[in-house]
Amino acid sequence: MKILLIEDNSAIAKQIEEFFSGNQWQLDFASTARLGISLALEHIYDVILLDLNLPDGDGLDVCAAIKDRSDVSPPILMLTARDSFEDKAAGFHRGADDYLTKPFDLRELILRCEALARRPLLHQPKSMCLGNLTLDTKSKIAKYKDNYLTLTGIGYHILELLIKAHPQPVTRSFISHQLWGDDPPESDALKSHIYSLRKSLDKAFGVPVLKTILNVGLKLELPQEDFQKND
């Protein structure tokens, strides 16, 4: 997972970083409200850990700013010594998704981060359909009519992004960011995965359905009869 920690206490930040490294999680660190907001708006994080006492602003204001201005609203877990009900209520009312009072057990912090990262999955449909193309979002299997598509894990993820965006195109930079965040492979791996996905779709449909829109990106164009049969 990719985590943003907004915390001005360097000792606490170091403890969290060392503990998270055992899970191979990526941790970005900001010691000020200004930098924290900037990173939160520039990158996509699975969870943001936010201290309330920052040298250049109150964490409540930082939380509200991130929630109001972010294109993809990230889960925010507040870390603070303020433990009264009124303090917790103020945090939740400003947009916090969870609250952990200091001092805390780092093992509990891990569990809470994992729980927050799973929350977006709670309201996901078990299947997605576009015409006669169906994705099983639990088993990560794609099927066209009665035929299963041969897809890699990344190929499935790209297809899911294309279906969610349909009928709009999806840019290659957006796909790359969804797959690898800010650390894409040095080689042109995306081009290879798109080629493989296109071959699988062509085989299943019998006609090209993954279209390249010049200077824009990729989109799915399924045969019109696929939709007529589902009316």
Full domain range(s) for residue 103: 2-121
If asked whether residues 135 and 114 sit together in one domain, one would say no
Q: Encode 165-182: b = buried (16+ Cβ within 10 Å), e = exposed.
A: bbeebbeeeebbeebeee
- Asked if 137 and 105 sit in the same domain, the reply is no
Domain co-membership, 13 together with 62: yes
Q: Which of 90, 121, 152 is the last residue of a domain?
A: 121
Are 33 and 116 part of one and the same domain?
yes
Lowest pLDDT segment from 47-61, 115-129, 165-179: 115-129
- Asked whether residue 114 falls in the same domain as residue 199, the answer is no
Can you tell me the distance from the alpha carbon of 221 to that of 165, in angstroms, rounded to the nearest whole number? 12
Are 73 and 134 contained in the same domain?
no
Pairwise CA distance, residues 127 & 136, whole Å:
5
CATH of the domain at 46: 3.40.50.2300
Which of these three, 95, 121, 147, is where a domain ends? 121
Report how far residue 174's alpha carbon sits from residue 22's, in angstroms, rounded to the nearest whole number: 29
Residue-wise DSSP of 55-70: TTEEHHHHHHHHHHH-
Q: What are the tens digits of pLDDT across the range 25-43?
A: 889 999 999 999 999 988 8
In sequence order, the 6+-apart residues with CB closer than 8 A to the CB of 58 are: 33, 52
pLDDT in tens, 175-195: 988 888 777 887 788 999 999
Same structural domain for residues 84 and 25? Answer: yes
Overall pTM surpassing 0.75 (yes/no)? no
Number of domains in the chain: 2
- Do 94 and 10 sit in the same domain of this protein? yes
- Residue 146 belongs to a domain with what CATH number? 1.10.10.10
Give residue 231's pLDDT. 43
What are the start-end ranges of the E strands in 162-224? 210-213, 217-220
Q: Which two tokens stand for residue 22?
A: 């055992």
| 7 and 106 housed in the same domain | yes
Residues 111 and 140 in one domain: no
Average confidence (pLDDT) over 206-225: 89
Do 38 and 133 belong together in one domain? no
Is the pLDDT at 230 greater than 50, yes or no? no
41 and 132 belong to one structural domain = no
CA distance 18 to 12: 10
Q: Residue 46 CB: number of other CB atoms within 10 A?
A: 19
CA pair distance 4, 30, nearest whole angstrom: 8
Cα separation values, 134 from 80, 160, 170, Å: 45, 10, 19
